[in-house]
Amino acid sequence: MAGLPLRWYALFGALGAAGVAFLALNSDNRMQRIDAWLGGICSNPQVEGCFQKVHAEYALADGGWWGVGPGASREKWSLLPEPHNDFILAIIGEELGLPGTLLVLALFSLFAYACFRIISSSTDPFVRLATAGVMVWIVAQAMLNVGSVIGMLPIIGVPLPFVSSGGTALISALIGLGLLLSMARSVPGCDAALKGRPSTLRRTFAALPVRRSRS
């Protein structure tokens, strides 16, 4: 998006990886999370650092293919920590099964595709950069959360955008979504296409029955 040579990204990526490794090696808590992620200390779910990981897997396993039904989750009742926040996807998988989790992933994929459409269609450099920034922010956060829940990444405590309960994180994500909707109007042909459609309010009232007056 910015037009920088790939060697700059390789350089900054290497520096970022070195910084992450330094911060992880100098923190017992971070190393414990990495050990729990790799599975070396998770033979007993009561071991500190494994409880969330193991119970998230229990929730997904209980859900199976079709889930236990909406509201019927057992793990959310003081078994799985943060079931309404960081581990909401595990509860969705437990209650709605594989279709529920795949629907969440499909919606984030649709979000990423919509951002890509804005980036590829816009000729404004600011719109392209801002859209790419919001897309990386939301999609990367979703990938980190999903990876933590299913055990492919260490648990780092990030919420699932637009889904997890919360205040500032949800408000920030909605602000980012509002920016995307605003920038989408700058795509060539978008404004004319929107003006050619009836408003949502008119479509809603058109579906309502109309009482005709008697003559």
- Tell me how many degrees the CA angle 165-102-113 measures, rounded to the nearest 5: 85
Widest distance between CA atoms in the chain: 85
Residue 120 buriedness (CB in 10 A; 0-12 / 13-18 / 19+): exposed
Asked if 35 and 50 touch (Cβ cutoff 8 Å), the reply is: no
2-47 pLDDT, tens per residue? 777 888 888 988 999 999 888 888 887 778 777 777 766 666 666 5
Give the pTM. 0.80
- Give the residue-averaged pLDDT of 132-154: 92
- Give the residue-averaged pLDDT of 197-203: 66
149-197 pLDDT, tens per residue? 988 888 888 899 999 887 888 899 999 999 998 888 877 777 676 666 6
Residue 85 buriedness (CB in 10 A; 0-12 / 13-18 / 19+): middle
- Tell me how many degrees the CA angle 143-144-145 measures, rounded to the nearest 5: 90
- Give the residue-averaged pLDDT of 68-97: 89
Q: Minimal CA–CA distance to 166: which of 176, 158, 156, 178? A: 158
